[in-house]
Structure 1
């Protein structure tokens, strides 16, 4: 029992003497004052997770190995631009692919025209419009990332439906003719 107490005290930083043999506190100050733990004294990984939680309005799963899922509706937000050269952290690749805090995400419920390998100039133009419109939609306010039945696609992208107020953000692209619902076949954008 004492060995367990010593181990517990060592692991948690408790004052073992005060714990095993309490001393009356009248007029005496404790030999060691317990302070709140310093979050910056923690390991690099713990600091990274703390910073991620501070940046995100709601708890978020790990970035690598687990998809980003908001614990509360419409609490994921970030400032998006169009991806360019260099490191991709938070940006829009095309009308149905984004990077969010270093995680590549495929918007699972829509399909948009290609911009990396378009079949014609009309597809490229519409793909660029879809990309720009997705930037605008994501920057409008907080949203939710809803998982689907598969975690990743064949390219390793995390699969999510992006919603705001329970409605698909991709639905706006479908309504504007810049996307189709996923699973309805690949349209001829040309």
Structure 2
């Protein structure tokens, strides 16, 4: 099997090339059951499991600390929603299985490219460095 190597903030992630076989019709999370929905720019539910995109940090929405963080956070959330609905993807393991909140840590790939990297390229997220930093001024 041909392997694609994807560089991440955590080093190198190896994922099968053209193995994008996961997909769903994502909604924006609201009240009620969370099956396949987007919480914010770096967190979503997939098949009733909460996933934290491991290679990025997006602006906070719950709660945002300032108006610019809220606007940026909403834009990141909308882009992640569009990207997840754009076609099949792969969930690759990160440096550890879950974070302290129980969210599964995964790198989301499409055609071997990090969806987190796409958010970074759009300036709607930044690489995850292991510590939260503010998004206000």
**Do these two structures clear the TM 0.5 threshold for a shared fold by scoring above it?**
yes
- The answer on 1:109 being equivalent to 2:51 is no
SS of the residue aligned with 1:136?
A: helix
Could you list the runs of 4 or more consecutive aligned residues of structure 1 that deviate by over 3 angstroms after TM superposition?
A: 184-188
SS of the residue aligned with 1:129?
A: helix
Aligned to 1:171: 117
Taking a change above 3 Å as real, the CA distance of residues 159 and 185 of structure 1, as seen in their structure-2 partners, is closer
Which of 5, 26, 33 is the aligned partner of 1:87?
33
Which of 18, 22, 32 is the aligned partner of 1:76?
22
Aligned to 1:11: none
What is the CA-CA distance between 1:149 and the residue it aligns to? 2.3
Unaligned runs of 5+ residues in structure 1 are 1-69
The superposition leaves residues 29-76 of structure 1 with CA deviations (integer Å, 9 ceiling, x where unpaired) of xxxxxxxxxxxxxxxxxxxxxxxxxxxxxxxxxxxxxxxxx9x71000
- Larger Rg belongs to: 1
Structure number having the greater strand percentage: 2
Q: How many residues align?
A: 120
Aligned to 1:100: 46
Aligned to 2:105: 159
What is the CA-CA distance between 1:98 and the residue it aligns to? 0.5
The TM-score normalised by the length of structure 2 is 0.83
SS of the residue aligned with 1:162?
A: strand
The within-5 A match list for 1:3-152 is 73-152=19-98
What is the CA-CA distance between 1:187 and the residue it aligns to? 4.2
CA separation in 2, counterparts of 1:177 and 1:136? Answer: 16
Unaligned runs of 5+ residues in structure 2 are 1-15
Aligned to 1:182: 128
Q: Over aligned residues, Cα RMSD in angstroms?
A: 1.6
Answer 1 or 2: higher relative contact order, Cα 8 Å, separation at least 6: 2
